[in-house]
Chains A and B, each alone.
Chain A
Amino acid sequence: MDTITLTALVAMASIVTAGITIAVGCIGPALSEGKSVASALNSLAQQPDASPTITRTLYIGLAMIESTAIYSFVISIILIFANPFWTYIITLK
């Protein structure tokens, strides 16, 4: 396989994977964050005086759930901007 096809293949694979990673990787966290906020609102409606604890636990839970989305984001950013395969391939001229 000549260098040009290889370069094109690496670029295509990186871009497509980056897009799919961030797209699929954000579905799960978004759904679960929605569920957690909904249940927090429910419990706030039932017990408004437990509001500081509920709010704090909600934020901690949201940050933990958010981290999985952040993992996919980090991978896709690495694929676009700090891709080791790309930096190797473009030195092969």
Chain B
Amino acid sequence: MNISPDQTVYWKYGFVEINSTILTTWVLMFVLVVASILINRKLTLGLGRTRWQNTLEIIVTTIIKQLKDVGIDEPRKYIGFLGTLFIFVATASICTMIPGYESPTSSLSTTAALALCVFVAVPIYGIGAKGFVGYLKSYIEPTIIMLPFNIIGEFSRTLALAIRLFGNMMSGTMIIGILLTIAPLLFPIFMIVLGLLTGLVQAYIFSILASVYIAAAVRGIGHE
């Protein structure tokens, strides 16, 4: 039993291989980019909006409101990164309804890559908002004894982000696979529904945690 879509290889040349994870990620990226381009062609301010524009507006305004709730004062600067994280992981989870599809986030490679993006983005946004020295000073808050713990905390947060998303997605597909050998008709349906719910919740959690880390780096602790 293969526990990850990394093991379904479609094409291999030397050490370069196109496996199911990469292919699915490319297809998802293609679909999202093309959909956004097509919808953004005919943006109107009036009341005669297409329903796709309405959908996009709902998504964007909800994300902006969530970012403001979490503590980011200028959500539009960060919504490119954080909104993409949410939409990518959420679309990857929703598409599990399509038969024969395996979510790329059920492979540790994808989730580790996303977590590394967050790991790199937090200092970049922090330095952009507070300057190099200001950002480095935030590691010494509240006292200098906390410096090793803050550094270790950065790494362990990244690891936890990757493993949380990977574990949730992988366990969903694995439990469905195991249940298929026990009760092929009814139980997997419940588990697929549960998998959809946990997929969306985990997408939300991933992006909310990323935005909390960025908010902490941009405004610092104790600046409420």
Contacts and interface: CB of A to CB of B under 8 A. Distances in A.
B167 A67 contact: yes
A34 B163 CA distance: 23
Contacts of B163: 67, 70-71, 74
B201 A74 contact: no
Interface residues of B, number: 16
B174 interface: yes
A88 interface: no
Contacts of A82: 3
B205 interface: yes
Contacts, number: 37
Nearest to B206: A63
A63 to B, nearest CB: 5
A63 B167 contact: no
Interface string B157-189: 000100110111011001000000000000000
A85 interface: no
Interface in A65-86: 66-67, 70-71, 73-74, 77, 81-82
B174 A63 contact: no
Contacts of A77: 3, 170-171, 174
Contacts of A67: 160, 163-164, 167-168
B3 A63 contact: no
Contact of A63 (B1, B166, B171, B201): B201
A60 interface: yes
Contact of A60 (B3, B171, B208): B208
B167 A73 contact: yes
A50 to B, nearest CB: 14
Contact of B1 (A70, A73, A81): A81
Contacts of B174: 77
B205 A71 contact: no
B208 A71 contact: no
12 contacts: A60-B205, A60-B208, A63-B164, A63-B201, A63-B202, A70-B163, A70-B171, A71-B163, A71-B167, A73-B167, A74-B167, A77-B171
Closest 4 CB pairs of A and B: A70-B167, A67-B164, A74-B167, A63-B205
Interface of B: 1, 3, 160, 163-164, 166-168, 170-171, 174, 201-202, 204-205, 208
